[in-house]
Structure 1
């Protein structure tokens, strides 16, 4: 079962589909994608993301505030728990820390991340974590405030194997996007070779980061197949086996989506 474990369907570039999201969903289905997790990133897009999940049987959703969106408004623990009770909402996030562009809002990002971790623990839902140039703080806050039972995933992983090992020790999963196919991503391919198969997920993060051979073009859930095929080849597996394993992993972590 091939699953796109992280995409932003509300942001897809739909010119090739005449602006029709249903055609993009159908295109993914035709390539074997049986489920998609449409990820919330702000207070403003929560309702559109959940509405998309309500519209399509193969789509589930998450609710959260991305670390680069915290200045536009924070969610409370109570709000996230309430939103997480929706039958199509299977995770809290995308949350986390991103110090790549600026460190001016570190304290606000950390406050928001803690809120999401505590809400996920109360709601018994996994957390979708974005981390960039914030390795130590990300792991430390997960360790202090996370729930090892529901745990979560470091999505679109681009960090070191050392960080991946720390996350794995905290019961987290590692999700790889099209970046793993990029020519200059050998360090990430080394991570892809080492992540235990029962902790591995695949994603597009569409409309961003289209895999080779679509790099530079708008990404979409249909292209998660290229990510899965590439990693299968990297691991010496048949594509169908890698798709089955990562699909089972998805449903183990996001058990509300099963």
Structure 2
């Protein structure tokens, strides 16, 4: 494949696509851990604007139940595989990763691209070395600060959940972060149920390996789908901003 790339006049689309490309490359090589699988799905949820099929999230839940599922074993590097997956064939693992990408991730990227293209700003001049709209200079997801803010809340929520909490009361403070991380797409009693259910609190505050695995399942089942719902709502309302303010003529691309 040629290394030459077209001059970017609609950098938001390029920025989004390059972000997806980086994570596609990472997955093809295998993810470092089960925690990284959850974080990778969260990152891809943002970068596909919530367009990944719910089947991905449903199947991911099954992968974290009980023994490590075969797909989960395929997603991680050999050193992170458990149980029977330690003997998982390299070629089989590569095919499963590529199937996930081909059937779910890239179609979701296509849908996100189509959703974004109507609102992507077209710059009159191609981005030069010092221009603020160069794709490789962007710090915001798809050049949309609101999406990056949402992702930062999601990262915080996921990090705190996987690390576990010291006591039941910490869940209440965490619940407020979850509200921000899901853009309010939570059932009214969601935090209440998490706080009041003793078995859930035991898992969220536990320190054993079993508790840690249960928190991963909790993240896959209860949190990631809510992240998806939140970004789907926000993505149509987020405005575009280049990394630095410059005086340039712009037109809207529709």
TM-score by length of 1: 0.24
Q: Which has the higher strand share?
A: 1
- Structure scoring higher RCO (CA < 8 A, sep ≥ 6) equals 2
TM-score, length-scaled by structure 2: 0.25
More helix by share: 2
Max Rg structure: 2
